[in-house]
Amino acid sequence: MVSPGTVLNSRYRIDERIASGGMGDVWKGTDEVLDRTVAIKVMLPALLEEAGFVKRFHAEAKTMAGINHPGVVRIYDFGNDAHLAYLIMELIEGDPLSRTLNKVGRLTPARTMLLVAQAAEALQAAHDRGIVHRDVKPGNLLVRPNGTLVLTDFGIARSAAASQLTATGAVMGTASYLAPEQASGEGASAASDVYSLGVVAYQCLTGHRPYEGDTPLEIAMKHVTGTPKPMPSDIPPVVRQIVERSMAKNPAHRWPSAAAFAGAARQAAGALTHGTGPTLPVQPVSPSPVSATPVSPVPSRPLSPATPGPVRPNGGYQRGSAAVPAAPAPLTPVHGVPYGPQAPAQESGGGRTALTVILVVLGMLAVLACAGYLGYLARQNSTNQSKSLGIPAHSEHVTLSAAGWLNGTDHVSMDQMTEGRRTR
């Protein structure tokens, strides 16, 4: 018996049990040489008593170690002594599909087809190496957190199929996935793995196994002669046809290979996924071209980031969104023109010029009016003075001729002239 702390081959330390099956227990362990975590499967001691088991175990372990497929668990090492045989495998971080089904009951058709496609591709990789799994069931399909599936726990011992019909506990689950030819005692083949995977798909879609019974033998016989319950009507017909073909009683009526099964399932999964819409790739939208207004060339200057504003119909930029650097000399201000059709431009300053002309004319008229009025007052004053001095009105003005002035006849002393009048 093994227990936590047991070291196998002075290298592999057993830490904790993580699963149990019809052929043995799976433990989480440590490779103390490479310092990495591994999965250690310890075969049941009873299997060592069967003739030829150890030889077949070694041969198939070597073959499995040569499988290089992301959907098949990797084999690192194997060994045996007088008491036990063990297999050192890759430790898969994930949950068995059986645990998921226990939680949710059913899976969607698209999700089921995607998982079945991955499992069938992994089976094909094993079949290409001449290896038949012989124990395909949800407990041996591990689903990583990213949704990818890994096929584990290959049925190394060929004699295990015979002992499954009389075992208890976990064997009940194993009998539920047996192909009719296996239940009849015939040898397992690649077609047997296709049938078992079809039963897994049936359970994912319906939430239950196709056959139930009180004993593993009763369940196994129903795989030979029974008819499974029809699948729910909400399952697409193409999916039902794919699963029903994989579960045909006659191996010749099933999918010709696991690869053909995988291709049909993946095609259905793709059609169902793309038909839902959200997984379709979204085409990027190219930006609309922006029309630019030609401008006169000016020296390039860095602009501050534009302030978001309303979008113009022509896709142009918002006026005034960039800062203008200060110029070294005064610049003539440029008045912005609002967007859209404009009325004819008015000549700037026309109103002020007309107003200035009117004011000048009025000012001149006022000056002339004042001058005339003052002249009138002066004449009135002169007339009144002449009357008071007895000067005739006709002698108000003195007329001098050039000849009279030269001859002396009209010579008058300038001292006697006052404001155009002669004094006596």
Give per-10-residue mean pLDDT for the chain (424 aa): 88 91 86 95 84 82 87 91 85 92 94 97 93 91 93 64 41 75 89 96 96 91 93 95 96 97 96 61 37 44 45 43 46 45 48 76 83 77 56 44 46 43 43
**pLDDT given at position 61:** 85
- The residue type of 360 is V
Geometric angle at alpha carbon 57, from 55 and 177, rounded to 5°: 135
**Which pLDDT does position 115 carry in this prediction?**
97
Give the pLDDT of residue 99.
Answer: 93
Q: How many CA atoms lie within 13 A of 25 on its CB side?
A: 14
Query: Contact 29/38 with Cβ under 8 angstroms?
Result: yes
Q: Tell me how far apart the alpha carbons of residues 302 and 25 are, in angstroms, rounded to a whole number.
A: 73
Note if 193 is an active site residue.
no
DSSP 168-181: -THHHHHHTT--HH
Residue 40 main-chain phi, psi, to 5 deg: -120, 115
Burial 129-143 (b: 16+ CB within 10 A, else e): eebbbbbbbbbbbbb
| Angle between the N-to-C axes of helices 97-104 and 190-206, in degrees from 0 to 180, rounded to the nearest 10 | 20
Q: What 3-state class would DSSP assign to 398?
A: coil
* Helix 190-206 × helix 258-276 angle, to 10°: 30
Query: Residue 229 contacts by C-beta under 8 Å, 6 or more apart in sequence?
Result: 206, 210
User: From the CB of residue 194, how many other CB atoms can be counted at a distance below 10 Å?
Assistant: 28
Tokens, residue 20:
């149990």
* pLDDT at residue 382, rounded to an integer: 62
* Residue 370 confidence (pLDDT): 79
- Report the relative pairing of strands 36-43 and 12-20 from DSSP bridges: unpaired
Number of Cβ within 10 Å of residue 296's Cβ equals 4
Distance CA(186)–CA(15), nearest Å, equals 39
Catalytic choice (95, 135, 234, 415): 135
Q: Give me the helices (H) in 129-226, please.
A: 160-164, 170-175, 180-183, 190-206, 216-225
State both tokens at 176.
């539920």
Tell me the C-alpha distance between 96 and 319, whole Å. 64
In this prediction, residue 53 carries a pLDDT of 82
Give the span between the Cα atoms of 163 and 160, in whole angstroms.
5
The whole-number pLDDT of residue 383 equals 59
Query: Can you list the positions of beta strands (E) in 269-345?
Result: none
User: pTM of the full predicted structure?
Assistant: 0.60
